């Protein structure tokens, strides 16, 4: 079954405590991306990766890092989380210009 798996699904943390949200896909897609969803703003792209070792900034990259060492994995790293990073995060993948396949979402609260 085609899947995009994110962990953790829910996380409450405190300001400044580094965290990583993992993302893994089994569809062998080259493209992966991270979005954040905030009320009234829809989904906004944080970072994307067109292939292994190739990453680039989206619209809202400040405060985030990513890496793409393997095709299937694309972790999102918050080095020093702040309350304005409280959001619902989605990892996604796609083949070519088709639809995005999303993970289940990770709801992050930064106190």
Partner 1 sequence: AQKITQTQPGMFVQEKEAVTLDCTYDTSDPSYGLFWYKQPSSGEMIFLIYQGSYDQQNATEGRYSLNFQKARKSANLVISASQLGDSAMYFCAMSFFYNNNDMRFGAGTRLTVKP
Task: Point out which residues bind partner 1 (CB under 8 A).
Answer: 31, 33, 35, 40-45, 48, 50, 56, 58, 88, 90, 92, 94, 96-102, 104-105, 107
Q: Please, what is the minimum distance in Å from the beta carbon of residue 6 to partner 1?
A: 11
Degrees to nearest 5, angle at CA 96 with 91 and 98: 70
By beta-carbon proximity to partner 1, the closer residue of 77 and 100 is 100
Q: Please, what is the minimum distance in Å from the beta carbon of residue 82 to partner 1?
A: 23
Residue reference for tokens 């405590």: 17
By beta-carbon proximity to partner 1, the closer residue of 13 and 101 is 101
Q: How far is CA 35 from CA 1, 21, 22, 90, in A?
A: 23, 12, 13, 5
CA dihedral for 103, 58, 95, 43, sign (positive or negative): positive
Q: Please, what is the minimum distance in Å from the beta carbon of residue 109 to partner 1?
A: 14
């Amino acid at each position: 079954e085609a899947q995009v798996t994110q962990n953790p699904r829910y996380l409450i943390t405190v300001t400044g405590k580094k965290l990583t949200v993992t993302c893994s896909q089994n569809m062998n897609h080259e493209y992966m991306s991270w979005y954040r969803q905030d009320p009234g703003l829809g989904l906004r792209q944080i970072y994307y990766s067109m292939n292994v070792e190739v990453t680039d900034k989206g619209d809202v990259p400040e405060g985030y890092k990513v890496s793409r060492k393997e095709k299937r994995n694309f972790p999102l790293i918050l080095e020093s989380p702040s309350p304005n990073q409280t959001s619902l995060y989605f990892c996604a993948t796609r083949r070519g210009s088709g639809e995005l396949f999303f993970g289940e979402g990770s709801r992050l609260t930064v106190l």
